[in-house]
Amino acid sequence: MDVSVDVRVASNDDLHLLSERLKTNIPNPEEGQVLVAVVGGQPVGTVTVSWAAADEPEVRDLFPGVPIMYRLRVDEPYRNVGIGTRLIRMAEHLLRQHGHKQVLIGADRDNVLARKLYLSLGYRAELTDLDGDNGLYDILVADI
């Protein structure tokens, strides 16, 4: 696909356009940031990074203070051209600028495609078989 994709920290306008898919989960700016991939003025992908304490006690115990990425999504027609990778790399870059050395991401056990992508980008499963709303999931970590 030969389109120009802008990957950036979401502006207020971007957040407005994303509000339906993010619902109430936009983090307070002191606790996280939303990134967006934009094509022709329209968001086609997003990821949220949070450095607030993780919900799961086992994650907080094993990775105190380590930020987490969640709600990574690229719209179907735009998949497999590198946008997900760019969102992840941009999130890592931002976190490095904030002094972080690691980042976490949660992956549902049955999400084979996402898991394959994370492993290929250097993420490794460190906490496995956590019980989530959608079944079992793992927490993957990367050094950034």
Ligand X SMILES: CC(C)(COP(=O)(O)OP(=O)(O)OC[C@H]1O[C@@H](n2cnc3c(N)ncnc32)[C@H](O)[C@@H]1OP(=O)(O)O)[C@@H](O)C(=O)NCCC(=O)NCCS
Residues in contact with ligand X by CB under 6 A are: 72-74, 79-85, 107, 111, 113-114, 116-117, 120
CB of 120 to ligand X, least distance (A): 4
CB of 101 to ligand X, least distance (A): 22
- SS3 for the chain is CCCCCEEEECCHHHHHHHHHHHCCCCCCCCCEEEEEEEECCEEEEEEEEECCCCCCHHHHHHCCCCCEEEEEEECHHHCCCCHHHHHHHHHHHHHHHCCCCEEEEEEECCCHHHHHHHHHCCCEEEEEEEEECCEEEEEEEEEC
> Is 95 or 140 the residue whose CB approaches ligand X more closely?
140
CB of 58 to ligand X, least distance (A): 18
Question: Which residue lies nearest ligand X, judged by its C-beta?
Answer: 84
CB of 107 to ligand X, least distance (A): 5
> Is 88 or 95 the residue whose CB approaches ligand X more closely?
88
> Is 37 or 95 the residue whose CB approaches ligand X more closely?
37
Amino acid residing at 55: D
